[in-house]
Structure 1
Amino acid sequence: MPMLPQTPFLRLALAADAVASGAMGLAFAAAPAAISALTALPHGLLRGAGAFLIAYAALLGWLAVRDAVPRAMLWLLVAGNLMWAVECAALPLLGLVVPNGWGIALLAVQAVVVAVFAELYIIALRRMPRAA
């Protein structure tokens, strides 16, 4: 499996994604009822997303301290972040959730933030020599 050497840029992107994902995951997991009351997003959706984000943050933190990262893993992070962004936009558009203004704002911010992380990983991949 082709490995990419860790760079300061990639390490920072992974660590920032880990912190953001971990903070959101802890908030969703610790206070789904309160966040649901504020946003009108389903309690179960928030709790499930929180559990996922905590595990995801742990993976990102582990990757951030490695000397090298599998190229395929970075592409998986790109795809996953882009899918998360699309899902954040699609949930209310498809009528799967009916958030209030705060809920729409939360979903919009999440969509933008995870799309930015996807772009940071793409930048890191483009900066790597192809042979790596």
Structure 2
Amino acid sequence: MVGDGDIRIGTAEREEALAALAEHHAAGRLDANEYEDRRGRATDAVLRRELTALFVDLPEPRPKLRPSRSSALAQPSTSRRPSAQGKVARTLVSLSPFIAIAAFFLTRSWLAFLLIPVIAILARTIDD
């Protein structure tokens, strides 16, 4: 199983780390050389552990790395259950290819397959 430190980061996390490093530099915690070194390492970082290693000896601010999806799934969820409308919408989308095939055989027109995206759009409006 992959640990949180092995999760890949994106541009938003790198930019947040760069902003935090700039604050530490402005506060005098990092001299110019160390700031440039850490800034380069933050820009080149690919994994979370590479970013967190830059802040081990620094107080707040630190980048707020969101928990990984797997660790978020392990924690109890506070989100509400899907609504009945959401279940109907998902069922319609799942059945849309079969509905389109049935309409095709009834009408003998390829236009029946346009029902698939139409049903998906209608289901989206039901779900919202």
Please report the TM-score for the alignment, with normalisation by the length of structure 1.
0.36
Instruction: Compare CA radii of gyration and give the structure with the larger one.
Output: 2
Structure with larger RCO (C-alpha < 8 A, sep 6+)? 1
